[in-house]
Amino acid sequence: MAETFIHPAAVVEDGAQIGKGAQIGPFCHIGPHAVIGGNVELMSHVSVMNATRIGDGTKVYPNVTLGGPPQDTKHKGSVTRLEIGRNCKIRENVTMHVGSDASSGVTMVGDDGFFLANSHVAHDCVVGNNVTLTHGATLGGHCEIGDHAIVGGLTGVHQFVRVGRRAFLGGSSAVMGDVIPYGMVVGNRAKLHGFNLVGMRRSGMARAEIYRMREAYRRIFDPARPVAVNLESVAVEFADTPSVMEIVAFMTNRRKRYYCVPPYLKAEDSGDDPIG
């Protein structure tokens, strides 16, 4: 473990906790409630505000702001938090905000995330492990992003949207609805275009399971019947396929948003108001 180093041009306020081996570069500003884990590297011009915790081994590039107050008019200024996991890479000009006191009060970012330049994580988001936000990707407040999901460059994700595990959101998309696990969406407004087959294969998923999932996909989004009815039959027929059951559970656990559907269906066909 390297020696802890704080550059003379950095400002570390009283009360901040700096872990062993952390490297604090020039012109960084660490607030009094921040907790910086072991072997964290803040390269330069990094601002760590409010009650922000950065996990061990995370590397933060210049001009990043972590723990800024939520951009939410309902927030009244109570102490809220930002929790960032281990071994993340946070590139230039990324912003992540603390939670809001009108909601959960905490923004959670998992381990091994890769946040490319100019991406943004808003208040009260829950971001899983191994998530990638590419250049300029933006998460609105209260989003939930599953493990290994990829959000393409310049893509905006509407507040309260859920993105399932290993989903892929194509670049320059406007994602207004929930994205099923393993799903691939693209467009403005984004539509579902099957599965993220590249990601599934890279994860080691067996060919037989992929075939089962594709058949389940066709059944779920069969326009001859409502999606809710299709889900009931798929839950019975594909009970032996865990990945399909993961999708069924995701879709039956309704939250604030409708789900992204294939181009041949309308948002209303998912059973929810597309504006709500």
**Catalytic residue positions, numbered:** 123-124, 141
Q: Which two tokens stand for residue 159?
A: 């507040």
**How confident is the model over 46-83, as pLDDT tens digits?**
999 999 999 999 999 999 999 999 999 999 999 999 99
CA 66 → CA 53, 158, 263, 273, distances in Å? 9, 21, 38, 34
Q: In what helix (H) or strand (E) does residue 250 lie, and over which residues does it extend? A: helix 242-252
- pLDDT value of position 255: 80
CA 61 → CA 45, 93, 147, distances in Å? 8, 8, 23
**CB count, 10 Å around CB of 64?**
23
Please spell the DSSP secondary structure of 86-104, one letter per residue.
Answer: TT-EE-TT-EEE---TTTT
Record the pTM: 0.95
- pLDDT value of position 276: 35
Using CA atoms in the order 197, 202, 208, 213, what is the torsion angle rounded to 10 degrees? -40
Q: In what order do the strands lie in the sheet with 183-187?
A: 5-6, 23-24, 41-42, 59-60, 89-90, 114-115, 132-133, 150-151, 168-169, 183-187, 190-195
**Pairing state between β 162-163 and 144-145:** parallel
**CB count, 10 Å around CB of 37?**
21
CA 43 → CA 6, 71, 120, 247, distances in Å? 11, 26, 19, 40
Name residue 11's amino acid. Answer: V
Name residue 46's amino acid. Answer: V
For the chain, domain boundaries: 5-200, 206-270
Cis-peptide, bond into residue 189, ω within 30° of zero: yes
**CB count, 10 Å around CB of 114?**
16
β-bridge partners, 66: 48, 96
CA 228 → CA 4, 64, 116, 274, distances in Å? 56, 43, 37, 16
β-bridge partners, 23: 5, 41
- pLDDT value of position 150: 98
Q: What is the DSSP letter of 69?
A: P
Place of tokens 């250049």: 135
- pLDDT value of position 273: 43
Q: Which two tokens stand for residue 215?
A: 């058949």
Q: Which residues of the chain have pLDDT under 70?
A: 1, 268-276
Contact 128, 146 (CB under 8 A): yes
Query: Which CATH number fits the domain 5-200, given the four candidates 2.40.50.140, 3.40.50.720, 1.20.120.550, 2.160.10.10?
Result: 2.160.10.10
